[in-house]
Amino acid sequence: MSTTEKELLPRQFTSEPRAQLDDEMAVYRHSANVILCGFSRHLEPFQQSMRGGLETYLFRLQTEGEASVLLDGRMTTVVPGDLLLFSPGEAYEISIQAPGPGTRLGASSDYFLMASGAWMGSWWQRQSRPQRVRIADDGKILGIWEQLSLESKRLDGGKPVILDALLQALCLSLERAILEAPIQGGAAALTAIKLKHFVEAHATEVFTLEDAAAHVGVSKTRAVHLFKKETGSSIMQYAQQVRLALALRLMENSQLTLEQIAEESGLGTYTYLHRIFREKYGVSPGSYRRRE
């Protein structure tokens, strides 16, 4: 068979591309090892004890209900929003009650991950990791977690390069959520973070204060107060900052006209873009772009 004929055949019918694919996959084979990944909703009592120490990294994000987990040597209640991070060798124990009159928040639900590999070890050692932290997720983290779970459950165990990418995306997203987690302020501070996430996701669209408040489940007055208290700016001021930052990136990295940039960034018209850009940077958008 000629080289040209081989190139025309599908990969599964040629031995050489298959060997090449195997070589490509070998590069990733030991980078990420996703052992267990998924979502659990506990309608029956559940107990698990690994006091002798974990063999892998274990992440657990409580999404509903309560659970009791061994933290700092004692069983501690974890609630929705609590992210737990354990490294190999750490003791782990969890106890969950069946939902009933004695449970305040209904059935216990959580996302979980058990994984190992070279990249995981490198990422973990890069900085100190809290064992427990309350984070504000806007759905993106859970979306990545679900995709990782689905990929790991494929018949072939999942494509290593995809597992690597999803695991790294999950770890880095959790890392950012941890950095953004309020040191103090509790539920109010978490609500403000969720409002920030809403603004960032919808800045290129037209939205109202009522839309933002409804997204986090509080009144408009409460949303405005919490956001101002936690960030020092109003919701709409922050939206303008996000839109202006996007407009700046488009000016520097695209060939769109200034009118198109104003529309794409959510600022609406070039007239408005011109006014707020000059107020912020002291030059017009056109002059800035020519300078670039």
**Domain formed by 237-291, architecture:** Orthogonal Bundle (1.10)
Q: What is the pLDDT of residues 18-60, one digit of tens each?
A: 544 454 444 444 477 999 999 999 999 999 999 999 999 999 9
Banded model confidence at residue 75, pLDDT cuts 50, 70, 90: very high
Q: What is the pLDDT of residue 5?
A: 37
- The pLDDT > 70 percentage for the chain reads 87
Q: What is the pLDDT of residue 184?
A: 64
Predicted TM-score (pTM) of this structure: 0.75
Please, which residues have CB within 8 angstroms of residue 251's CB and are 6 or more apart in sequence?
258, 261, 285, 288, 289, 292
Q: What is the pLDDT of residues 224-241, one digit of tens each?
A: 999 998 889 999 999 999
Q: What is the pLDDT of residue 188?
A: 83
Does residue 273 surpass a pLDDT of 70?
yes
Summary mean pLDDT of the chain: 87
Residue 139, sorted as left (phi over 0), alpha (psi -120 to 50) or beta, turns out to be: left
Distance from CA of residue 201 to its chain's centroid?
13
Does residue 7 surpass a pLDDT of 50?
no
Q: Where are the domains of the chain?
A: 33-180, 186-232, 237-291
When the candidates are 1.10.10.60, 1.20.120.80, 2.60.120.280, 1.20.1110.10, the CATH number that belongs to 33-180 is 2.60.120.280
* Mean pLDDT along residues 155-172: 94
What is the 8-class DSSP label of residue 38? E
Banded model confidence at residue 185, pLDDT cuts 50, 70, 90: low
Does residue 138 surpass a pLDDT of 80?
no
Q: Are 259 and 247 in contact (CB under 8 A)?
A: no
- The pLDDT > 90 percentage for the chain reads 72
* Mean pLDDT along residues 85-96: 97
Q: Which pair of structure tokens corresponds to residue 142? A: 């859970």
Q: What is the pLDDT of residue 102?
A: 61
Q: How many CB atoms lie within 10 A of CB 100?
A: 8
* pLDDT greater at residue 186 or residue 252: 252
